[in-house]
Amino acid sequence: MTTAVRNQELSMSAALNRALADALEADERVLVFGEDVGPLGGVFRVTDGLTARFGEHRVFDTPLAESGIVGTAIGMAMNGMRPVVEMQFDAFAYPAFEQITSHLAKIHNRTRGRVELPVVIRVPYGGGIGGVEHHCDSSEAYYTHTPGLRVVTPGTLGDAYQLLRDAIDSPDPVIFLEPKRRYWSKGPVALDRSGPAMDRALVRRPGKDVTLIAYGPMVATALETAAAAAEEGWDVEVVDLRSLSPFDDETVTESVRRTGRAVVVHEAAGFSGYGAEVVARVTERCFHHLHAPILRVTGFDIPYPPPKLEEHHLPGVDRILDAIARLQWDDEVVGFGG
């Protein structure tokens, strides 16, 4: 079997499944484990069929103990393995947070580079599935604030495959955030690795009036907004960050300097959210190119709401269009850099 099979019609969960299967086949050091990832195939069926194909010694279930899962992965990685573990749901990962921040993220630095920890932690994150308490969260800012971790999130079907393959091959620990509301989206997927490096952002839609900066589950929403904005006369560029840490300053600032306006979109809470860092970095580098302050469209500063209220919490096309409309389009208004 080869990983160069192109343009298959797959869902995002199926693309991730293929990435895991191809990685397991390519490198016998790769292991996949977590809660219910074995015969059941995972809550979202991302690991479906992998135990039957590769055996219980390589794809196996663990006790319901997230700290133990990550601690085990750290020990395995220190001894030459390449573990890929699943946290099942975003808010389930918090019991493992001490292992992640105190050990996984720091051992390479503590050993002056002598010990590598090629561990991938897969975290289904975000809302949009009507999940009950503890089943929906957006915890990306916790991980990006932790030096020593790579944090990536696919916003497209193709990136689901490529980014996961790249994450598994990385010598660094990677927090791999999977937008659970996009698991069932379908389309043609190129099952190859010819795309840009894991730490590069991509312009998903070119435009000249304003840059929409999004990632993970909000990429599709940003593209939908750009199409709607065209009917209002705005030519919107969409940048998919892909890598949250490290951050691709070059691609993002190049876009904003061309358009002169920007809106950052994410579904996590706004206060101290990841978008605040994006706004700060872009403002520092693009201040004299801006015609208006950079705006954010985010979730509200509340815990994820119950399923019946979730649609009001998650940023949608109308809220993003409202932000674009507030970007000082009147030529008589003096902008930042004019």
Residue 26 CB neighbours (<10 A): 15
Residue tagged 């199409």 (tokens): 227
- Residues composing the chain: 338
Q: How far apart are CA 94 and CA 123, in angstroms?
A: 11
Alpha helical stretches, state H, the chain: 12-26, 50-54, 66-78, 97-99, 107-110, 140-144, 157-169, 218-231, 249-259, 274-286, 310-313, 317-325
Strand ranges across the sheet with 59-61: 59-61, 30-34, 82-86, 120-125, 174-179, 150-152, 243-245
- According to DSSP, the β-strands at 82-86 and 30-34 are parallel
134 noted as active-site residue: no
Q: Give the active site residue among 57, 108, 134, 135.
A: 135
Residues forming the active site: 135
